[in-house]
Structure 1
Amino acid sequence: MSSEKKPQAQTMIDWACQCLQQQGAAPEIAQAMAEHLVAGDLLGFRTHGLLRLRYNLQALQRGTTTPTGSYQVVSQRAAVALWDAQLLSGLFVLPQAVAQAITMARTYGTGTIVVKRAQHVAALAVYLEQATAAGMLVQMMCSTPAQQVVAPFGAKSACFSPNPFAIGVPTTTTPVLLDMSLSMTAAGKVRTALAEQRQLPYPALITAEGDYSCDPKTFVAEPPSVLASLGGAQLGYKGTGLNLFSELWTLALSDYGRAEADPADGDANTVWIQVVDPTAFAAEGQFAQQAQQLVEAVKACQPIDPNQPVRVPGEGALALRERQLQEGITYSAATWRQLQWCEEFCGVALP
């Protein structure tokens, strides 16, 4: 795909929505799925943008994604709730969960919702601004009960899923947006490196022999390599602790861990969402000012390379989104091939 063929975001949303509806998704579900996948591309989360459309279309066709309906409230108190997404797309259910957590926080100062059995939620970053735009802090953690691909420190076999952690923080300017994996890399990035025939930039995989490797081919070998916990060969015990934290707050709290998970759940996620209203602690606007001071302190630090100033999480992603909204979204040749597969699968012509 040449640089002159960068499609506009709305064009890709409309196309993806048509594809998803063609596979049976209700219009409101298809719209939410398409919008949040494209939102991932706009922010630069390429492995969790429209690259995931093929998976979503196949899951709808197989019946492993519920095409219509609503989540079930399993239990609820004033400021906490457990939802069963009933294999609806997480791209559809999570915005509703964030909205409900915001409503709770307005009354009680905080709101926490755990959502289980949500089909792949994609990039957590795309849900954060929903809370920050309301002046609230948000934290999210995600795990996959039917998946074990991340090794704890000192092991060469897997125990965890590649659990993402995200926070959104309002300031007086642009929000702080952090979305990171608690493994050295995400499985999607390994598959992308494999498709693009390149090495990983650092040793993020542990082979069956127990060696740390940059080679994505080991991920599809027999036996396959596994992902290393954040911190790698030297500091992976920190990542192990964070992964355990994530899965206690998601799988254990939802009472739907790996012993209970149906293998057919595949990439279905459990997500912990907590929203905090800063006005429960200080006067309106005070938190944003404090947060802005912290952001400015970080950015004022002397950079190692003068040509690369220190940035805060989310700064680059938001700048990329603004640029791509103006110029169109840049897709790699490998991703465009996946979109062409979707075009043929659904019979809906690419823009």
Structure 2
Amino acid sequence: MPSLDLSLSSPDLTRVICDIRSVSGEEKTLADAVFEQVSALDHLEVYRDGDTIVARTQLGRAQRVVIAGHIDTVPVNGNVPTRDIEVAGEAYIWGRGTVDMKAGVAVQLKLAAELTAPRVDVTWMWYDHEEVDADLNGLTRLARSRPGLFAGDFAILGEPSNGEVEGGCNGNLRAVVRTHGVRAHSARAWIGENAIHKAAPVLSRLAEYRPQDVAVEGLVYREGLNAVRIRGGVAGNVIPDLCEVEVNYRFAPSRDVGEAERHVREVFAGFEVEVVDIAAGARPGLDAPLAQEFLEAVGAEPRPKYGWTDVARFSALGVPAVNYGPGDPHLAHHDEERVPVAQIEAVEQGLRAWLTSS
């Protein structure tokens, strides 16, 4: 088992963690290494559920903060081991997981080891299976087995945010819009009904759809409704009797899941619509006193998070949560995934300043 040295600088720790393969479903080696290190720290109470590790201080502080990060990555594509590169005169660490989100995890591990007496009690969470189905997510499992571990006054998720603070997140809905026809030989098409042709109005409505920009607690979230997949056809000489258009709706956190589903059904009125996946968004929660102190300490101007992240899990539990981590989210999952060394250091400094300020 590889050994982690939590006395390394956060960039060096990023390199080590990224070079330990932990594609979703293969997190055990990294989880074992994390568990070994944090279990040796006397100031932390440590709990393990599968490949999810929780370590928390019990100092009796008046407030508690949860700081979380996932340890899995999407599949590797020739971008491990990591290497140091320079882009436009700036130093980067290149490789799978550098952005999403092992640089953030490295910062968290270093601070968890070094901050023995933070100004608030801290619950650190490093979890598995974030990049796959929500049912497999380590936080889903942990919420069932130990829901009390999620208790807190504020939460920070180390998702890549370019070192800025991104409040809340959009909700996410996937639905399948179906059209039906009658099969026939394509040489006698008039005998049947072409389900793919019947899908033309579905695509027209999507093309004509104008997404909204929605202001929520001072942040403007950009919505979107798009076709992401289309399925239909039986054979090269058969009129198809079924066509399915899969659509993805990203909705502002001011809408609940019921409103989001109703909206999609209204857009596709007259068609069969099946919602196959839906997750609520998270309101920014930046009006919480701890959130305001955090923004001031890190010197950040908050922005909205357009994608869905696990901050929504905390928001659903009444815990305001933000995204704050190094790395450009546009490079997450990209084959040229890379993180600026300076951003790793800045995020560490920002969290350290906030957690140690009086």
Q: Considering the TM-score relative to the shorter chain, is it more than 0.5?
A: no
**Shorter-normalised TM range:** under 0.3
Task: Output the TM-score relative to the length of structure 2.
Answer: 0.27
Task: Output the TM-score relative to the length of structure 1.
Answer: 0.27
| Larger proportion of helix | 1
Q: Rg larger in 1 or in 2?
A: 2
| Larger proportion of strand | 2
